[in-house]
Structure 1
Amino acid sequence: MLYPELFAQLEKARWDMATDIPWDQFNPELLTDEQAQTIRLNAITEWSALPATEMFLRDNRHDSDFSAFMSIWFYEEQKHSLVLIEYLRRFRPELVPTEEELHAVRFEFDPAPPLETLMLHFCGEVRLTQWYRCASEWHTEPVIQHIYSTLSRDEARHGGAYLKYMKQAIDRFGDQARLAFAKIGMLMAASGRSGKPLHPTNLHVNQALFPNDTVQSRLPDPEWLEDWLTHKIRFTAEWESRVVGGILRNLSSLFERPFESVQQLNRYRKELVAATA
């Protein structure tokens, strides 16, 4: 059972919003209107941890260990939204999201295979780690820089926790788990080439609501994420390579086989398809 171990680890790393964020260092001259608007939309996006948690609990009723871990993940992810909202409340109160705007990103996700969903969210944490590092460098106001650095470290720890559950799944399910992880890992690592890097918040998750069934599509500005990455924080190919490298390194460790490219991972996936067939 991993939950007790992960609880202890993440409890040691937990930060306090009142005392660990340097609110008194705020410099109003270093926060632009454009930057404040991105914080607002990011706060709404982070609120989607709520429907994601509901999905995880529904689809993992068979796994009380992982479901218990959701109590940690949900708390910390929801705090990400809260700290961004608190930043706006203190320094740009006119931009605080409304309850209606937050509730708009709470909708039901269609059931999906738990192993694939686990890998999808592991890759999402790897990607968010780099997005938030990049965002911290783009921002000029010191308090929000500190907040984004803090969130980035949280996402990295969450990715490490998911990786432990992936290792557990391989022990339990063998090649079935390896194939699920290789398939989704290849998809997520290769998505940056298309110009639209995949993340759980921009994937379609409810067929009945299509096309209004991504988290991003339900924001006040549905084009925000792409614009933020391309024209604001400028998440370049160099940053994307860090995401891909993180996915490949972790899968190399998980599968005990080196992957230096997405092509190598795809060849391994085909081997697994043949073996399981």
Structure 2
Amino acid sequence: MLYPELFASLEKARWNMQEDIPWAEFDMSKLSDEQAQTIKLNAITEWSALPATEMFLRDNQHDSDFSAFMSIWFYEEQKHALVLIEYLRRFRPDLVPTEAELHAVRFNFDPAPPLETLMLHFCGELRLTQWYRRASDWHTEPVIKQIYKTLSQDEARHGGAYLKYMRQAIGRVGDEARLAFAKIGVLMAASGKSGKPLHPTNLHVNQSLFPNDTIQSRLPDPSWLERWLDRQICFDRDWEARVVGGILRNLSSLFDRSFETATQLNLYRKELQRKLAAPDFQEAGQASL
């Protein structure tokens, strides 16, 4: 069971919103209206941890260990929204999100395979780690720079926790888990080439609400994320390469096999597909039931 270990380690790293954020260092002359607007939209996006947690608990009723971990993840992700809202409340109260704007990103996600969802959110944490590092660089106001640095460190720790659950899943179901992780890994590692890096907040998750079924589509400014990445924090190819490299390095360690490109990972995914489709493997699986 991983929950007690993760609770202890994340408890030691937890920051205090009143004591660890340097509120007194705020400099209004270094906060532009453009930057402040992005903080509002990021706060609303972080609020979407609420429906994501509801999804995780629904789809992982078979796994009390992982479901218990959600108590930590949900708390820390909601605190991300809260610290951004607190920043606006103190320094740009005109931009504090309304309750209706926050509630707009709470909607039902369609059921999905738990292992694929786990890998998707692991990749999402790797992306946010780098996105927030870049956001900290882009901002000029010292308090928000520190906030984004703090959030980036949290996201990195969350990615590490998800990785532990991925390793646990491989220990339990072997190649079934490897295939799920490789499938999503290929998708995530190759998404930057299409010009639209994928993240849980810009994926369609409710067929009945399509096309208004992504977190981003329900923001006050649905086009914000692409503009933030491309023209504001300038998340370019070099930064995208850090995300892809992180995905490939972690899967290399997880699978005990070296992947330098998404193409190599895709070849491994196809190898797993053939293996799981083989009659001998299917018979072995039936015999174990």
**TM-score, normalised to structure 2's length?**
0.96
| Paired residue secondary structure (2:172) | helix
Partner residue in 2 for 1:139 = 139
- Tell me the distance in 2 between the aligned counterparts of 1:157 and 1:38: 24
| Paired residue secondary structure (1:61) | coil
Partner residue in 2 for 1:243 = 243
- Tell me the distance in 1 between the aligned counterparts of 2:190 and 2:82: 32
Partner residue in 2 for 1:104 = 104
Partner residue in 2 for 1:182 = 182
Partner residue in 1 for 2:71 = 71
Structure 1 residue 241, shift from structure 2 partner: 0.2
Structure 1 residue 262, shift from structure 2 partner: 0.7
- Tell me the distance in 2 between the aligned counterparts of 1:185 and 1:154: 22
Alpha-carbon displacement from aligned partner over 1:92-150 (angstroms, at most 9, x marks no partner) = 00000000000000000000000000000000000000000000000000000000000
Letter in 1 for 2:188: M
Structure 1 residue 192, shift from structure 2 partner: 0.5
Partner residue in 2 for 1:59 = 59
Letter in 2 for 1:140: T
- Tell me the distance in 1 between the aligned counterparts of 2:152 and 2:240: 15
- Tell me the distance in 2 between the aligned counterparts of 1:94 and 1:221: 16
Q: What RMSD, in angstroms, separates the aligned Cα atoms of the two structures? A: 0.3
| Paired residue secondary structure (2:259) | coil
Structure 1 gap segments, 5+ residues each? none
1:18 to 2:34 alignment: no
- Tell me the distance in 2 between the aligned counterparts of 1:37 and 1:251: 36
- Tell me the distance in 2 between the aligned counterparts of 1:249 and 1:154: 20
Alpha-carbon displacement from aligned partner over 1:132-188 (angstroms, at most 9, x marks no partner) = 000000000000000000000000000000000000000000000000000000100
Structure 2 gap segments, 5+ residues each? 278-289
The alignment-based identity, stated in percent, is 81
After TM superposition, where is structure 1 displaced by more than 3 Å over at least 4 residues in a row?
none
Partner residue in 1 for 2:28 = 28
Partner residue in 2 for 1:206 = 206
Partner residue in 2 for 1:233 = 233
Letter in 2 for 1:26: F
- Tell me the distance in 1 between the aligned counterparts of 2:25 and 2:194: 40
- Tell me the distance in 2 between the aligned counterparts of 1:107 and 1:66: 22
- Tell me the distance in 1 between the aligned counterparts of 2:20 and 2:210: 41
Query: Which has more radius of gyration?
Result: 2
Partner residue in 1 for 2:81 = 81
| Paired residue secondary structure (1:4) | helix
Alignment of 1:114-193 (within 5 A): 114-193=114-193
- Tell me the distance in 2 between the aligned counterparts of 1:92 and 1:247: 37
- Tell me the distance in 2 between the aligned counterparts of 1:170 and 1:131: 29
Partner residue in 2 for 1:195 = 195
- Tell me the distance in 1 between the aligned counterparts of 2:58 and 2:269: 28
**TM-score, normalised to structure 1's length?**
1.00
1:253 to 2:253 alignment: yes
